[in-house]
Structure 1
Amino acid sequence: MNEDIKKIIDCLKESLKEDPSSIVFGKLNDGIGEINEANFLKLGKYYDLLSSTNGARCGDIDLWGYSELEKNQYVLSDIQDEKESWLSIGQILYEPLIINRFDGNVCEFIVDDGSMNCFGELDFFLKNYVFGSGYCKIIPNSEMDDWFLFLKKNGIISE
C-alpha cells in the first residue's frame, strides 16, 4: 500500500477517535500484527490494508477484518476458480466486494446477475472510492452521506 493511503488512514483514525458520533458512519481499526506465511499468501495484497486497519466501516463500504474473512467467503462459491484467485474482503451496500489475490484488482460482485463491477487495483480503489470523490459514483445520494461529509471536513476530498 502506498504511503499516501497510509497517511490518509492514520489521519482519519485520529479524527474518528475525536468524534464519538462517528461510530455510526466510520471506523478504522488498528492494524493486525504479523501472521503466518500461509495466511499471508492467501491474503495477497489485502494484507497491506489489514496491517494498517484490521477492518473498516467507511460509510456504505465495509472492509472485513482478518477474523471476519473466513466466514464471508461463501459468496465466492459460484465464481472461485481452481487457483482460488478471489477473496471476499467486504461489501458495498450489501453487495460483496472481492479482490483478486494475484493482481490486486477489486470488484463488486453483483449477486443477482453474477456480474462484476471492477474498480482497479486495491490502492486505486482505496484512494479514489473509499477515501476519494469516487465514493459518489458508487454510493447513491452520497452528497449528504456522513462518510462523504467527514472526508470533506477532514480535507481528504476538496469538491
Structure 2
Amino acid sequence: MYEEIEKIIDCLKEGLEEDPSSIVFGKLNDGIGEMNETNTLKLGVYYNLLRLTNGARCGDIDLWSYSELEKNQFVLLNIQDDKESWLSIGQILYEPLIMNRFNGNVFKYIVDEDSMECFGEFNFFLKNSVLGSGYCNIIPNSENDDWFMFLKKKGIISV
C-alpha cells in the first residue's frame, strides 16, 4: 500500500505545482531525509509519510510537518500514557488527529466530548480518508470541497 500512496502523492504534488491557486486547499511539501533510529521509532509509521511530504494540507485535513510535531503534542496532556503511546499528527476541522505509535491506528480526538473516533490504521486512513473517496465520509459538505474536487480532477477518485 505504501508504494501506491507514494504514487498518489507524487501525482498530487505535480497537480498542485501546476496551479498556484491550489495553495488555498492543498499543499504537499518535499519529504524529509533520513533520521536517527530513536526519532523514527518515536514517529512510528508517520515517519513514512514525512519522507514523502514533510507536512500536508489536504482540504480540511492538516498533517503536521516534523518541525510542527513537538509544539502540537499539548493536545495529548489528558490522554497520554506512561508508554507515550500517542502522537498528535494533525487536525481535521481543527479537532486533533492523533495516532497510536504502536499499532498505527488514527483517531480524531473530540476534545469537548473527551472521546475518540477511529479511522483505522494510518496507511488505510491516508489512502482512503485523506487521498481517497473516504474524505467525503469525514468532511461535511465535501461535494463542494476544493480538495475533494481536486482528487476527482486528478483521477484519484471516480465521480
Distance between the aligned counterparts of 1:94 and 1:56, measured in 2?
A: 14
Q: Give the root-mean-square deviation of aligned CA atoms.
A: 0.7
Structure 2: how far apart are the matches of 1:114 and 1:36? Answer: 34
Tell me what 1:77 maps to. 77
Name stretches of at least 5 consecutive residues in structure 1 with no aligned partner: none
Q: TM-score, normalised by structure 1?
A: 0.98
Moved over 3 A (4+): none
Amino acid at match of 1:67: S
Q: 1:54 aligns to what SS in structure 2?
A: coil
Counterpart position of 1:39: 39
Q: What displacement does 1:28 show? A: 0.3
The residue type paired with residue 133 of structure 2 is S
Residue-pair matches, total:
159
Residues 66-89 of structure 1, C-alpha deviation per residue, up to 9 Å, x if partnerless? 000000000000000110000000
Q: Secondary structure at 2:113's aligned position in 1?
A: coil
The residue number in structure 2 matching 1:59 is 59
Q: Once the 2 structures are TM-superposed, how far is the Cα of residue 52 of structure 1 from its aligned partner? A: 0.5
Equivalent position SS for 1:116: strand
* TM-score (norm. length: structure 2): 0.98
- Tell me which amino acid in the other structure corresponds to 2:68: E
Name the counterpart of 1:28. Answer: 28
SS in 2 for 1:112: helix
2-structure distance, mates of 1:4, 1:44:
19
Specify the code of the residue in structure 1 equivalent to 2:98: I
User: How many Å apart are 1:147 and its aligned residue?
Assistant: 0.2
Question: What residue number does 1:138 align with?
Answer: 138
Q: Matches of 2:16 and 2:52 in 1, distance apart?
A: 15
Gaps of 5+ in 2: none
* Distance in 2 of aligned mates of 1:38 and 1:4: 27
Distance in 1 (CA, whole Å) between partners of 2:37 and 2:151 is 35
SS in 1 for 2:116: strand
